[in-house]
């Protein structure tokens, strides 16, 4: 049973400056909900209710978001405005929230390693909340949990990306197991387009077995001088097997301005329900 989910949220969000100078990127709203809340709801819907955040300096707003705001609660109690809080109250009731800090931004791999204590010794989910996903039927993490039950190894979500954009992703090579499911044979972080082993790009959803921590512990900094999760997963793919899964649904890159605007428009039309 997987019941923990890690949210690495320590990054600087430089592409959103100046908005992210003193506010975490993960608190930027898509219509009326911060990005990170969409991710947490996806985890809870998949049965992952032990939520761990790897934060950094300037990210306190995330912890405050998943805590009671007594003054506000007191002010609006019994008024018509109370209903606006019901959705975040529901999230807080369903999950347990823990926090730790990444002292230096040394990359996603280092952020995951920092979360080791929070995740313990069982397999766990990882959600990068700036990749906003709307699953087809069930949420993307719920789809992946189902696949984990079948394969019992690390699972990574992938999406077909054509053209030059492939250079922004980790990219896999894999043997097809069945439609949408591949056994990973190679992985490259942010390859030049001509070196990309396929058009199958890794997106911000993972289920990782705890063996990843050992590998991350000795993985040297890779692309951009950062400890890359992709490099550690490549090692796991050789030793224990890693499954890549073409998820069913939509993904928006809310770490970029264009993706954020697209997500906002999509969510306003298709997801947002006026309270
Ligand atoms: P990104 O590179 O997309 O996020 O990292 P960023 O660094 O915040 O954004 P830009 O490029 O400066 O605009 C992917 C995810 O990994 C986390 C980020 O918070 C984001 O969720 N991350 C990245 C960490 O937690 N720690 C790191 O050292 C690096």
Helix ranges restricted to H, 172-245? 211-218, 229-239
267 alpha-carbon distance from chain centroid: 18
Q: Residue 76 C-alpha to ligand 1 middle, in angstroms?
A: 35
Cα separation values, 141 from 69, 184, 256, Å: 29, 19, 22
Instruction: Please report where in the chains the tokens 């990843």 appear, as a residue.
Output: 212
For ligand 1, is residue 265 a contact (CB within 6 Å)? no
Give the pLDDT of residue 73.
86
Give the pLDDT of residue 80.
86
Domain ranges for the chain, please list them.
4-270
For ligand 1, is residue 130 a contact (CB within 6 Å)? yes
For ligand 1, is residue 196 a contact (CB within 6 Å)? no
Give the pLDDT of residue 83.
87
Query: What b/e string do you get for 146-168 counting C-beta neighbours within 10 Å, with b at 16 or more?
Result: ebbeebebbbbbbbebeeeebbe
Q: Do the beta carbons of residue 170 and residue 187 sit within 8 Å? A: yes
Query: And the tokens for 20?
Result: 């992210």
- pTM summary value: 0.96
Give the pLDDT of residue 164.
92
For ligand 1, is residue 14 a contact (CB within 6 Å)? yes
∠166-212-98 over CA atoms, to 5°?
95
Give the pLDDT of residue 43.
98
- To test the pocket of ligand 1, the residue of 10, 11, 34, 203 to mutate (highest count of ligand atoms within 8 Å of its CB) is 11
CATH architecture of 4-270: Alpha-Beta Complex (3.90)
Query: And the tokens for 86?
Result: 């019901």
Q: How far apart are the C-alpha atoms of 239 and 275, rounded to whole Å?
A: 50
pLDDT tens per residue, the chain (275 residues)? 899 999 999 999 999 999 999 999 999 999 999 999 999 999 999 999 999 999 998 899 999 999 988 898 888 888 988 888 888 988 999 999 999 999 999 999 999 999 999 999 999 999 999 999 999 999 999 999 999 999 999 999 999 999 999 999 999 999 999 999 999 999 999 999 999 999 999 999 999 999 999 999 999 998 889 999 999 999 999 999 999 999 999 999 999 999 999 999 999 999 998 88
């Amino acid at each position: 049973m997987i019941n923990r989910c890690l949210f690495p949220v320590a990054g600087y969000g430089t592409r959103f400056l100046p908005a992210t100078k003193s506010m975490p990127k993960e608190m930027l709203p898509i219509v009326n909900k911060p990005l990170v809340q969409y991710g947490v709801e996806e985890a809870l819907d998949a049965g992952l209710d032990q939520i761990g955040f790897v934060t950094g300096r300037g990210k306190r707003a995330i912890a405050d978001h998943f805590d009671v705001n007594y003054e506000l609660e007191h002010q609006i109690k019994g008024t018509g405005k109370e209903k606006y809080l019901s959705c975040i109250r529901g999230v807080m009731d369903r999950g347990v929230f823990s926090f730790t800090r990444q002292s230096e931004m040394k990359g996603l791999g280092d952020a995951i390693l920092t979360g080791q204590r929070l995740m313990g010794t069982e397999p766990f989910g990882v959600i990068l909340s700036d990749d906003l996903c709307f699953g087809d039927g069930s949420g993307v993490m719920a789809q992946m949990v189902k696949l984990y039950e079948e394969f019992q190894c690390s699972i990574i979500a992938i999406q077909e990306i054509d053209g030059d954009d492939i250079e922004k992703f980790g990219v896999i090579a894999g043997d097809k197991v069945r439609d949408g499911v591949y056994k990973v044979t190679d992985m490259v972080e942010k390859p030049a387009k001509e070196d990309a082993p396929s058009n199958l790009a890794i997106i911000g959803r993972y289920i990782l077995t705890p063996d990843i921590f050992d590998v991350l512990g000795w993985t040297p900094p890779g692309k951009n001088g950062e400890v890359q999760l992709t490099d550690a997963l490549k090692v796991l793919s050789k030793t224990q097997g890693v499954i890549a899964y073409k998820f069913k649904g939509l993904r928006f890159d809310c770490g970029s301005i264009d993706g954020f605007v697209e997500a906002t428009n999509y969510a306003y039309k298709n997801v947002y329900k006026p309270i």
